[in-house]
Amino acid sequence: MELTIKFILGIICTIAIGLITNYIYDKIKNHSSSRNRKSGFELDVKIKFIKK
């Protein structure tokens, strides 16, 4: 019984560590690439005047 509890806890800890690592990696990746992109509030507006 004790062995199965340790086994289940080991699996849960492994999954939790994997999820935390993936979350941290995504945060670092998104933070570094956001410097090159514009924020969602900035818009490029180009107005063309047509002369007739």
At residue 6, the pLDDT reads 94
Q: Residue 44, class by beta-carbon neighbours within 10 Å (0-12 exposed, 13-18 middle, 19+ buried)?
A: exposed
Token pair 């570094």 is found at 32
Whether the pTM exceeds 0.75: the reply is no
Looking at residue 46, its pLDDT comes to: 63
Rg (CA), the chain: 24
Q: What is the number of other CB atoms lying within 10 angstroms of the CB of residue 9?
A: 10
pLDDT of residue 15: 93
| pLDDT for the residue 47 | 63
Per-block mean pLDDT, blocks of 10 residues, the chain (52 long): 93 94 88 57 61 60
